[in-house]
């Protein structure tokens, strides 16, 4: 069992401002594939080849098909103990900010209420032409790319490479990172920008930077504490040892 450093527990029990950045790894134990490593292919395509406007414009059905496949997975899985632990942390700490790169909605389903979704949400769609947002979930069996009333193609309302992140959400994320005295980077390879700059910004502003990951990443050398293991194992231990249950 992973030993939780005393310093982390003390900061949590003192209820200092806390910010958390999550990535695909937190949902891996629910059965959602991550983007990189051995899991990171769909029909021999990497995320970098599918998550772009160019890919959608040159083969809309391929990219739409990838999202339909992933919606099918997300709809059939449940949040795991890592998601539930963060929902409990939110309840225990007044100045707590959950920032996620994930689009899978599993934090919300676990009970987290204030979530900064940097890369959008897989259940939402939008028109590429008029920008109309479609919040109603689509049937995962629909193979054709839907069309908006204006005639434009409808795409997932997520952030692809080369696109801007939602600016207000990103600004709130940086403010929370800079305010945090304790920052957790959980289940992310920390290579996709600008999300990967959040832990760095937190540390530069004085936060204790804690990484939770099954493997070391680009961030590990910079972290104050690296807790190696599955987030679904480690986060519930932290919650229990701080009495946040
Ligand atoms: C576990 C575990 C367990 C497993 N427990 N851990 C500055 C410098 C360099 C490049 C750029 C830069 N600024 C912009 C860029 C370009 C680009 C970029 O970052 N490229 C990099 C590849 C270098 N960024 C952008 O284009 C961004 N836009 C932008 O910056 O706009 C301004 C701008 C535009 C144009 C020019 C310049 C500036 C947009 C990025 C959008 C990313 N979108 C995606 C798809 C979202 C929709 C969807 O889901 O389909 O976001 S790509 C994909 O990667 C997805 C993820 O959110 C994101 C991050 O992946 P994540 O979560 O880290 O997953 P993995 O798989 O990489 O890692 C999983 C980790 O979990 C691993 O470490 C495992 O070990 C671990 N793990 N099981 C704990 N049980
Ligand atoms: Zn439209």
pLDDT (tens digit, 9 = 90+) per residue, 186-223? 999 999 999 999 999 999 999 999 999 999 999 999 99
Q: What average pLDDT score do residues 133-153 get? A: 95
Q: According to the model, what pLDDT value does residue 44 have?
A: 83
Q: What are the helix (H) ranges across the chain?
A: 6-14, 25-28, 47-50, 53-58, 60-76, 81-92, 106-110, 167-179, 197-204, 231-241
Q: Rounded to an integer, what distance in angstroms lies between the CA atom of residue 245 and that of residue 106?
A: 19
User: What tens digit of pLDDT does each residue of 75-115 get?
Assistant: 999 999 999 999 999 999 999 999 999 999 999 999 999 99
- Which pLDDT band holds residue 38 (cuts at 50, 70, 90)? confident
Smallest CA separation from ligand 1 atom 73, residue: 189
Q: Can you list the domains of the chain with their CATH numbers?
A: 6-31+79-119+164-241 (3.40.50.1220), 37-76+126-158 (3.30.1600.10)
Instruction: State residue 6's pLDDT score.
Output: 98
Alpha-carbon span 94 to 115, nearest angstrom? 14
For residue 172, name the pLDDT band (cuts at 50, 70, 90).
very high
**Which residue minimizes the CA distance to atom 1 of ligand 1?**
25
Q: Which of 25, 123, 200, 218 to mutate to test the pocket of ligand 1 (most atoms within 8 A of CB)?
A: 25
pTM over 0.85: yes
Quote the tokens at residue 15. 């209820």
Does residue 194 have a cis peptide bond before it, meaning omega lies within 30 degrees of 0?
yes
In this structure, the residues whose C-beta lies within 6 A of any atom of ligand 1 are 23-25, 28-29, 34-36, 40, 47, 51, 101, 103, 119, 158-164, 187-189, 191-194, 212-215, 217, 230-232
- 205 catalytic residue (yes or no): no
Arithmetic mean of pLDDT over the chain: 97
| Test site for ligand 1: of 20, 27, 35, most ligand atoms within 8 A of the Cβ | 35
Give residue 40's pLDDT: 79
User: Which of the following is catalytic: 83, 107, 119, 123?
Assistant: 119
């Amino acid at each position: 069992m992973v030993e939780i450093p005393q310093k982390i527990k003390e900061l949590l029990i003192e209820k200092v401002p806390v910010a958390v950045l999550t990535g695909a790894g937190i949902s891996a134990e629910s059965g959602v594939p991550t983007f990189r490593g051995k899991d990171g292919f769909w029909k021999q395509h990497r995320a970098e080849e599918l998550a772009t406007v160019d890919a959608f414009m040159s083969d809309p059905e391929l990219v739409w098909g990838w999202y339909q496949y992933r919606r099918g997975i997300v709809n059939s899985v449940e949040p795991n103990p890592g998601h539930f632990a963060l929902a409990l942390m939110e309840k225990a700490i007044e100045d707590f900010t959950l920032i996620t790169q994930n689009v899978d909605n599993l934090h919300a389903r676990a009970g987290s209420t204030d979530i900064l979704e940097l890369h959008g949400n897989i259940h939402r769609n939008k028109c590429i032409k008029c920008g109309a947002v479609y919040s109603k979930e689509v049937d995962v069996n629909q193979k054709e790319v839907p069309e908006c009333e204006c005639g434009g193609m409808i795409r997932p309302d997520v952030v692809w490479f080369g696109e801007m992140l939602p600016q207000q959400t990103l600004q709130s994320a940086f403010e929370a990172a800079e305010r945090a005295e304790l920052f957790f980077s959980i289940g992310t390879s920390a290579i996709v920008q600008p999300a990967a700059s959040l832990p760095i910004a937190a540390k530069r502003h004085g936060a204790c930077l804690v990484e939770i990951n099954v493997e070391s990443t680009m961030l590990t050398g910079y972290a104050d504490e690296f807790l190696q293991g599955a987030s679904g194992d480690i986060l519930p231990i932290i919650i229990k040892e701080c009495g946040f249950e």
